[in-house]
Amino acid sequence: MSYQEKRTIVMMLTGALVLAAYCIYAFGQVNAGVVSLGDLRFWARTILAFIGIGIVATIVIQIIFHILLSVGIVVTKTIRDGKVVDEDIEKSVEAEMVEDEMDKLIELKANRVGVALGGCGFVAGLFAVLLGYPAAVMLNIVFIAFSLGMIVEGFVQLYYYRRGVRHA
Amino acid sequence: MPKKFVISNHIRRLRFFANEMTQQELAEKAGVSRQTIIAIEAGKYSPSLEMAFRIADAFGVTIGEVFECAVEEGAKK
């Protein structure tokens, strides 16, 4: 499995974890009767907090992932070659983490799917309001749709890495 | 009917004649990832002109010796 695929899986897992944490916390509060669906301030505060948590979690997990990946490269190289020089390690890590035009193309194509899913969530949210559901339902649909979009984006990236990608 | 351009390559053969150059070595010479070389070699990705030139340069040959294009007449779009 390539570096790009591993990184995509880590991103997907981070997104899934943050989404799961949000659902457990937010809907747990509603089920416990602590907040009502109409309390927009609670939903705005919670969603903003989880957007922040998502950003921080992504940065922290990416740093840990890169450290572990570098350690993995060093260990593999040491086992294979016996001894390793610092320059060799640096070169191997850099070679492993190269990002080129194919990665960018895959990222763009996958991003399009993710954004489309988020857009569908927004339209679904508007329909929910039209059908008489509280505004908090719309907020949740939009937030969950964008979060799911991020996870689906990862799946699309993995698909393109496995099946290949065309420019057109 | 529009023509269909099918691009193939001779990277595997060129690697063999370049003293069995590894995909990693070629990737490093061309400044791309090994994953991309694997995809190009398997015909799963058609590189940009710039990348195609870089790959050809890594072998020290012309671009026409690395990539080949066959035209299929009357292919469905």
**Quick check: is A138 in a domain?**
yes
Q: How far apart are CA A106 and CA A113, in angstroms?
A: 11
**Quick check: is A75 in a domain?**
yes
Q: Which domains does chain B have, with CATH numbers?
A: 4-72 (1.10.260.40)
Domain count, chain A: 1
Three-state DSSP state, B41:
helix
Q: How far apart are CA A93 and CA A71, in angstroms?
A: 10
Say if the Cβ atoms of A164 and B35 lie within 8 Å.
no
pTM for this prediction? 0.82
**Quick check: is A168 in a domain?**
no
Please determine, for the modelled complex, whether the ipTM score is greater than 0.85.
Answer: no
pLDDT tens-digit readout, B1-45: 778 888 888 899 999 988 888 998 899 888 888 889 999 999 888
A4 touches chain B (CB under 8 A): yes
Continuous segment of H or E residues that includes residue B69: strand B67-72
Continuous segment of H or E residues that includes residue B68: strand B67-72
B33 touches chain A (CB under 8 A): yes
End-to-end CA distance of chain A: 26
Chain B residues closer than 8 Å to A102 by CB: 32-33, 35-36, 39, 45, 47
Question: Which domain range does residue A140 map to?
Answer: 3-163
Continuous segment of H or E residues that includes residue B67: strand B67-72
